[in-house]
Each structure stands twice: as C-alpha cells, then as structure tokens.
C-alpha cells in the first residue's frame, strides 16, 4: 500500500509543471552560487592562508561548506512547497476520503506520501550532483566531503519534509501549510542563532543537540556521529507521528 501511494504521488508530481519549474529555478540559483564560489576561490587562492591540508582544505572551507550551506538554505524554501498540497488539497476537495474509506492504515498513508516527497526532493537536489563532478574534474581528489555533505542534506530534507507533511495535515489551505512549515523549520534554525548569543555552556550544548543545523554542519565537515543519525531519525519520526495523529483527529 505504501508503494501504491508513493507511486501515485510521484506520478502526480511529475505530471505537474511545478516539478520542472522548481528543479529549473533551483539549479539556476545553485549554479549561479557555485559559479560565484568557484570564481571567488580562484581569484583569491593566492591570498588564502596555506594550512596543513593545503589547497584542497581551502577548497573545502571556501567552496564546499559554503555551497552546502546555501543548498540547505534553499531546501528551507523548497520543502514547504513540495509538501504543502500533500494532505491539505485532499482535505479541501475531500478526496482524502478515498484513503479513509479504504482498508489502509494512517501510517501507510503518511509514509507513502513521505517517501514520495523525499524522492521529489532528491530529484530537485539531483540537479546539483554535477558540482562534485566538476570539482573532481578540476583536480579535487578528496570527494568524501561531498558524500557526507549530501548525506547531511538528505537527512535535513527528511526532517523538513516531515515537518511539511505535518503542516499540510492540519489545514485545508496550501498557503497556510507552506507558511506554517516554513515557520517551524525557521524556528529550528533560530535556535542555532541563539546558541551564538548565549554563554551558558549547558544551554548551548542542549540547544546544539536540538537543532539540525549543528548536526548538519558536522556532517558537511565530514564528522559523522551516531548521535546525529539518531537525532535525524527521531526528529523525522516525531513529525511523521504528529502527521499520523493529526489524521486520526478526524475521529475526535
């Protein structure tokens, strides 16, 4: 059943012009950013301090980390758009009754839609897969940063989409769903800014674990801990559970 719903959602997504407009705009903006980062790196390469890792480390610091920072920021914009209609549109036109009157569980419905939206996100991100290829062709040998960066990006994508699905499940309005998920995701980002302002060690450590931003930063730098993986799984699971609960509220 999950696969059935997954397939239907993907088909619907690729039938609509939204898929191609989003992917096109995303690749255009990211291409422009990548070009500027590369250009600025090449222009200033002589002026950059030479550390123990040499030019490759400088490339990671000045191009890869910044690129993944920008990719993550754009995901903040794109994920609410990907998920906004998932439940809200079906609630509005009451087509969601098809699922409620069928012998499927709410988990199957939520997971089918989640996996479909995840693949939509991967499709949009796939337009940037050419960047590491360019970097390797330009002589960068260590592409492990790209792998861990994309891993972090996919995990962030799952978090953002799970929030988006929840937002879509609580309203009949796509706009409200998009705005609501944007605000929640932004809220988690704001935590990382609060960290920079606080001098309380314990508060900082707790907040660091609570926001995906610090976990993502570690992944982009190639630091991968099981606590990050547990964080992402718990975070995504929590919001998917909230979506399921929200669907169950029809019986209240």
Query: Cα 164 from chain centroid?
Result: 10
Number of chain positions touching another protein (CB under 8 A): 21
Which one, 66 or 91, has the nearer CB to another protein? 91
Map the footprint of another protein across residues 15-34, applying CB under 8 A.
15-16
Q: Residues 234-240: contacts with CB within 8 Å, 24+ apart?
A: 235/159, 235/162, 236/158, 236/159, 236/162, 237/162, 238/162, 239/159, 239/162, 239/163, 239/165, 239/166, 240/110, 240/111, 240/114, 240/162, 240/165, 240/166
Q: Kindly report the CA angle at 154 between 228 and 88, in degrees rounded to 5?
A: 110
8 in contact with another protein (CB under 8 A): yes
Min dist CB 78 to another protein, Å, is 21
Q: Which of 50, 94, 198, 200 binds another protein (CB under 8 A)?
A: 94
Considering only 47, 137, 197, 251, the residue that binds another protein (CB under 8 A) is: 251
Interface positions, 97-136, toward another protein (CB under 8 A):
97-105
Which residues in 136-195 contact another protein (CB under 8 A)? none
Residue 223 in tokens: 């630091």
As measured in angstroms, the least distance from the Cβ of 166 to another protein is 22
Q: In this complex, which beta carbon is closest to another protein, that of residue 96 or of residue 153?
A: 96
Other Cβ atoms closer than 10 A to 241: 14
Structure tokens given for 88: 């809200």
Contact residues toward another protein (CB under 8 A) are 1, 4, 8, 12, 15-16, 93-105, 250-251
């Amino acid at each position: 059943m999950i696969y059935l719903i997954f397939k239907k959602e993907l088909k619907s997504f690729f039938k609509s012009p939204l898929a191609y407009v989003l992917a096109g705009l995303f690749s255009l903006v990211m291409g422009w950013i990548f070009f500027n980062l590369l250009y600025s790196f090449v222009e200033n390469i002589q002026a950059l301090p030479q550390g123990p890792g040499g030019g490759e480390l400088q490339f990671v610091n000045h191009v890869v980390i910044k690129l993944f920072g920008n990719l993550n920021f754009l995901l903040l914009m794109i994920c609410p758009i990907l998920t906004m209609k998932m439940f809200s549109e079906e609630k509005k036109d009451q087509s969601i009754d098809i699922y409620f009157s069928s012998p499927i569980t709410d988990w199957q419905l939520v997971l089918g839609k989640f996996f479909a939206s995840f693949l939509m996100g991967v499709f949009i991100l796939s337009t940037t897969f050419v960047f590491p290829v360019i970097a390797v062709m330009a002589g960068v040998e260590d592409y492990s940063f790209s792998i861990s960066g994309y891993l972090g990006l996919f995990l962030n994508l799952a978090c953002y989409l799970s929030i988006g699905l929840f937002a879509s499940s609580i309203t009949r309005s796509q706009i409200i769903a998009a705005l609501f998920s944007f605000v929640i995701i932004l809220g988690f980002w704001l935590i990382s800014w609060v960290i920079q302002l606080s001098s309380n060690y314990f508060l900082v450590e707790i907040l660091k674990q609570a926001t995906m931003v610090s976990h993502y930063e570690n992944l982009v730098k190639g630091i991968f801990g099981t606590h990050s993986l547990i964080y992402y799984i718990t975070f995504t699971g929590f919001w998917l559970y909230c979506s399921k609960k929200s669907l169950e509220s029809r019986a209240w």
